Amino acid sequence: MSGNRAVAYLKPGTVEVRTIEHPTLELKDGPGVAPRNVGRTCRHGVILKVLATNICGSDQHMVRGRTTAPEGLVLGHEITGEIVEKGPDVEFLDVGDIVSVPFNIACGRCRNCKERKTGICLNVNPARPGAAYGYVDMGGWVGGQAEYAMIPYADFNALRFPDADQAREKLLDLTMLSDIFPTGFHGAVTAGTKVGSTVYVAGAGPVGLAAAASAQLLGAAVVIVGDMNSERLAQARSFGCETVDLTRGTVEEQVAEILGVPEVDAAVDAVGFEARAHGPDAPEAPATVLNSLMGLTAAGGALGIPGLYVTDDPGGVDQDARTGTLKVRLGLGWAKSHRFTTGQCPVMQYHRGLMMAILHERVHIAKAVNATVIGIEDAPRGYAEFDQGASRKYVLDPHGALSGARPV
């Protein structure tokens, strides 16, 4: 089989749908592929017909030119699909199975994987611990914003849905299991959210909205979402969140109006390194959210930090920011005995439980993040609209599996 339409990064602000080679069970040379990964044979892998693949804010960082992503890098790490081919070493999956693929690529054999720290697998990226599909400096595994994709270590990585017909029916919700739902949930869990908590989520993009829905699922008494985008704040209110408009007044003042006190039990940073100072037309200030959350979070509380921070940012506001060196008020966090959790979400710690919550109608994550289906050929428009602040989670539909699907 030849031909495979895929979304590739060209230059800052530009992506293109182009035809690439159909995947095989071998990692071949290409844009961003780590030289020591070239020729890696994946007898343990499967080929997926991609049924749903999503545009992520992390992809947007690359498309804005805020990373060292090379021209031609095929994007996409949020992948749900049907197995159409499997390698000879795959034991427990079959052709026809529909699976969710964690964005973390993990071998299942190293020390970290055995401890379920799958975001920092030691064997899949020669450069450093951890790998992902279609992402800069993450080993060069080809991205999944495509018609077909290869998934290595499939028995370990892929989450098989128990009923294929049910999976197709709930595909718009289930596609969120590859990244943003577990990532948002991880943010809420590591912030210490529990029954009765008051929770503040910085950022009303898809991950922030997923974190807010996760906090509700975990039993939070009040979930407050802060942003400067009125459309995104309205989306947060649509499923029962309180909101803070960062273009007016301080966070503490607005939180006090809601809770009666200017602090919360738990806080989630769903913004990351492209943060802006608070206020209308505020300039970029990458440590803003972290410092704000330390001021807002009660002593003894915790910060969950699923928002992306990078080691190399060519567009950073100063030399420190360009190397990921931020002016964080660590003394304040230390004085308040805060706990911090950073890094990639270890998706496997959460995805099966969240799948069950979806299948049994305990959560409607596609509705919370305003999932919006577009064809793969419309990916450039989706990236452009998302970059302009559209309050939507764009889901690419390469084969028409989501025809007529709407969030419920």
The pTM (predicted TM-score) of the whole model is 0.96
Query: In angstroms, rounded to a whole number, what is the distance separating the alpha carbons of residues 178 and 103?
Result: 6
Tell me the C-alpha to C-alpha distance, in Å, between residue 331 and each of 91, 150, 334: 51, 46, 5
Q: Which fold has domain 4-179+347-396?
A: Quinone Oxidoreductase; Chain A, domain 1 (3.90.180)
Q: Which fold has domain 185-341?
A: Rossmann fold (3.40.50)
pLDDT (0 to 100) of residue 345:
97
Q: What is the pLDDT of residues 281-299, one digit of tens each?
A: 888 999 999 999 999 999 9
Query: In angstroms, rounded to a whole number, what is the distance separating the alpha carbons of residues 312 and 320?
Result: 10
pLDDT (0 to 100) of residue 244:
98
Q: What is the pLDDT of residues 249-272, one digit of tens each?
A: 899 999 999 999 999 999 999 999
For 151, phi and psi rounded to 5 degrees?
-120, 115
Q: Is 376 helix (H, G, I), strand (E, B) or coil?
A: helix
pLDDT (0 to 100) of residue 1:
52
Query: In angstroms, rounded to a whole number, what is the distance separating the alpha carbons of residues 251 and 246?
Result: 7
For 225, how many CA atoms within 13 A lie in the half-sphere containing its CB? 36
Query: In angstroms, rounded to a whole number, what is the distance separating the alpha carbons of residues 17 and 145?
Result: 9
Instruction: Report residue 8 CA to chain centroid gap.
Output: 18
Share of the chain above pLDDT 70, in %: 100
pLDDT band at 280 (very low <50, low <70, confident <90, very high): confident
* Domain map (residue ranges) of the chain: 4-179+347-396, 185-341
Q: What is the pLDDT of residues 73-90, one digit of tens each?
A: 999 999 999 999 999 999
